[in-house]
Amino acid sequence: MLARCFVASLVAPVVSAANAIPVSRELAGQSLVSSNAGNPPCAALEAAGLRDRLLVPTDAAYEPQINTWWAANTRLRPWCLVLPQTVDEVSLILKTLSNAGEGAGDWHIAIRSGSHSTTGGNNIVNGVAIDLSHMNSTEYDEASSLARVYTGARWESVYSHLAGVNRSVVGGRDGTVGVGGFLLGGGYSFYSPKLGFGCDSVVNYEVVLGNGTIVQANESAHSDLYRALKGGHSNFGLVTRFDMATIPARNLWYELRYLANNYSSVVADVAADFANHDESLGDNALVTWVSFNSTISPVTTASTIYVNVEGNPHVETSYDAIRRLPSLLSESVSLPLTQAAAASGSGEGTWSTGSSGTYKNNPAILRNTIRVHEDLARNLTSAIGVDSFSTFFFMQPLPSYMGSIGKQRGGNVLGLDSLRDNAIIWTAGVSVSSNEADFALARALLQEASAQIQAFAASEDGVVDFIYLNYAGAEQDPLGSYGAEQVEFMRDVAARYDPAGVFQRRVPGGFKISRVV
Ligand SMILES: Cc1cc2nc3c(=O)[nH]c(=O)nc-3n(C[C@H](O)[C@H](O)[C@H](O)COP(=O)(O)OP(=O)(O)OC[C@H]3O[C@@H](n4cnc5c(N)ncnc54)[C@H](O)[C@@H]3O)c2cc1C
Ligand SMILES: *[C@@H]1O[C@H](CO)[C@@H](O)[C@H](O)[C@H]1NC(C)=O
Ligand SMILES: *[C@@H]1O[C@H](CO)[C@@H](O)[C@H](O)[C@H]1NC(C)=O
Ligand SMILES: *[C@@H]1O[C@H](CO)[C@@H](O)[C@H](O)[C@H]1NC(C)=O
Ligand SMILES: *[C@@H]1O[C@H](CO)[C@@H](O)[C@H](O)[C@H]1NC(C)=O
Ligand SMILES: *[C@@H]1O[C@H](CO)[C@@H](O)[C@H](O)[C@H]1NC(C)=O
Ligand SMILES: *[C@@H]1O[C@H](CO)[C@@H](O)[C@H](O)[C@H]1NC(C)=O
Ligand SMILES: *[C@@H]1O[C@H](CO)[C@@H](O)[C@H](O)[C@H]1NC(C)=O
């Protein structure tokens, strides 16, 4: 059995799954005119017949629904939430909101799937949040062996549904992460060294355009939109459904280890060796990280998750060096992906922020990163107190062959075709449990740490021009990092499918192609 407390999240600390609260129906049919007076978008949605799908602040279910957003800093209170259940309702919502004009000058729209992003895109104060969490089913089509995965589903439920027919997909590692945001930003999975990013497994997108038109985007229809959606985020339309190629469900061989921090540099060296594996070892995945959380340990720890996706414990890899070290905690199990995802949760309800960079696979850069993490943990301790925060610095392989996997599977916009060197994606997560003022200090310290890591990598000629969108901080420019050619392509596609700029101006959150310089 996998003890829950042993399991680390893949971006921040450990908690249980969020249970979305269903929309209260008691108020259905009652007039909202009073609470929506002076509130054109919510009044327009009600007038369009969507009262059943709305939650306004006076509804009993409103506040509990806000608390299903993952990070405290995204638990904003919009004028209303609208929770569609079908693609036709999404279409009606977008048409209605477009025709409600620009409001009295200042209201906008946010889109939420699993709500795990922390960059401010998934909620809004002045306006409407389209909460897709009720569009959360998964269907399996035996004839095509495709999974139809709805955007509001969480990966644990996707795996659990598909396990019933012995199939699986390339998706998230933590069970509560949402489908929509994960796949629109790429999607790094235990299967990525073998099958690429999650988006590389999507064969068709069902998309609602800014004017409410529903289109299917795939290799033969709207193929430009199809490619742009593979990494291009929320710039072209609202995706309601992802049709994904499936793979056989097999138990994973899964090893988790926590090590004393005097082994951090060994862990860094193993991460670097692992990122040099060639594609023939693609069944093997490694996540390494250093972290600090005073509840878990008074000093920083170094940790690893090693997975063999074929369930084989006997493959020789660079990870063997870690097996020989004494560990503080360790677990080695064969288990289904559903169970691994269910046990891996994270710091839900904390103020959370992140940052990311990609560096050439150079152990000196990794060791420096670990040194900066020690400084960050120490500085956070003196700034906000040892019990108020937790930190994670992840180091994950980005082998140079990842670009060619994407290309073989229909092409994406991540711009990795030209990646010549094996690389490591560095990802930081900082969670603050005390208050918003401490969070502001923590953000500033993380930016300082990020700048130091970048500067050291630059001094080693080790900066790779790729910022992984799903891990990027709000101030970073992941779309721009895909390269000029991809940026121009995404701009063209956005102009073609969203000529009115709904997803640039009315849905301002997330990373926007119009803001790339
Ligand atoms: C605990 C934790 C673990 C994680 N593990 C991994 C991991 O293993 N691998 C990995 O690659 N990433 C991981 N991430 C990062 C994760 O991929 C991103 O946070 C991603 O944005 C989450 O998707 P979501 O649907 O939950 O988020 P949301 O916040 O709901 O959405 C993210 C963004 O996409 C937009 N969006 C969402 N759905 C749609 C849609 N249908 N149409 C248009 N726009 C939409 C939103 O407006 C928002 O800007 C992890 C994050 C956390 C917090
Ligand atoms: C879908 O969401 C509803 C409402 O939050 C929830 O009750 C249900 O369990 C979810 N279904 C799945 C498959 O996760
Ligand atoms: C799933 O596959 C395994 C082995 O491949 C097999 O033993 C099992 O019977 C299958 N289960 C179902 C529900 O098809
Ligand atoms: C691609 O889209 C077209 C047009 O809607 C549709 O007929 C076809 O079935 C789609 N292909 C896939 C693989 O979904
Ligand atoms: C590392 O620390 C652990 C526990 O604190 C200790 O047992 C071990 O001997 C140390 N190893 C080295 C190489 O310093
Ligand atoms: C530290 O870890 C504990 C135990 O997993 C968790 O409850 C707590 O939220 C974490 N602290 C922070 C600030 O994330
Ligand atoms: C931590 O604080 C020290 C002393 O003020 C400073 O030199 C260092 O740059 C800081 N590092 C980080 C990562 O904040
Ligand atoms: C909606 O926008 C698309 C893309 O610009 C366009 O092809 C389509 O005709 C528009 N539909 C309507 C009803 O205006």
Q: Is 503 exposed, middle or buried (0-12, 13-18, 19+ CB in 10 A)?
A: buried
Residue 305 pairs in a beta bridge with 256, 287
Strand pairing class (301-308; 252-260): antiparallel
User: Which residues fall within 8 angstroms of residue 477, CB to CB, at 6 or more apart?
Assistant: 467, 511, 516, 517
pLDDT for res 35: 57
Residue 110 CA, chain-centre distance (Å), reads 16
Give the tens place of pLDDT for each residue, 363-379: 999 999 999 999 999 99
pLDDT for res 110: 98
Across the range 474-480, mean pLDDT stands at 97
pLDDT for res 398: 97
Q: What is the dihedral of CA 264, 268, 269, 271, to 10 degrees?
A: 130
Cα 405 to middle of ligand 2, angstroms: 33
Residue 470 pairs in a beta bridge with none
Between 6 and 101, the higher pLDDT residue:
101
Give the tens place of pLDDT for each residue, 245-302: 999 999 999 999 999 999 999 999 999 999 999 999 999 999 999 999 999 999 999 9
pLDDT for res 300: 97
Strand pairing class (80-82; 127-131): parallel
CA nearest neighbour of 475 among 459, 494, 451: 451
The H or E element that residue 377 is part of is helix 363-384
Q: Is 314 exposed, middle or buried (0-12, 13-18, 19+ CB in 10 A)?
A: exposed
Give the separation between CA 216 and CA 148, rounded to whole angstroms. 13
CB of 334 closer than 6 angstroms to any ligand 6 atom? no
Please give the number of the atom of ligand 2 that sits closest to the Cα of 68: 5
Mean pLDDT of the chain: 92
Give the separation between CA 299 and CA 378, rounded to whole angstroms. 10
Of the listed ligands, the closest to the CA of 441 is 7
CB of 157 closer than 6 angstroms to any ligand 2 atom? yes
Of the listed ligands, the closest to the CA of 166 is 3
Cα 99 to middle of ligand 4, angstroms: 29
Q: Where are the alpha helices (DSSP H) in 214-256?
A: 223-229
**What global pTM score does this model have?**
0.94
Give the tens place of pLDDT for each residue, 50-86: 999 999 999 999 999 999 999 999 999 999 999 999 9
Across the range 25-33, mean pLDDT stands at 35
Q: Which two tokens stand for residue 148?
A: 């139809």
Strand pairing class (389-398; 423-432): antiparallel
Cα 347 to middle of ligand 6, angstroms: 7
Across the range 337-347, mean pLDDT stands at 86
Residue 202 CA, chain-centre distance (Å), reads 16
CB 385: neighbour CB atoms within 10 A? 12
Beta strands (DSSP E) in 337-405 are 351-360, 389-398
Give the tens place of pLDDT for each residue, 168-221: 999 999 999 999 999 999 999 999 999 999 999 999 999 999 999 999 999 999
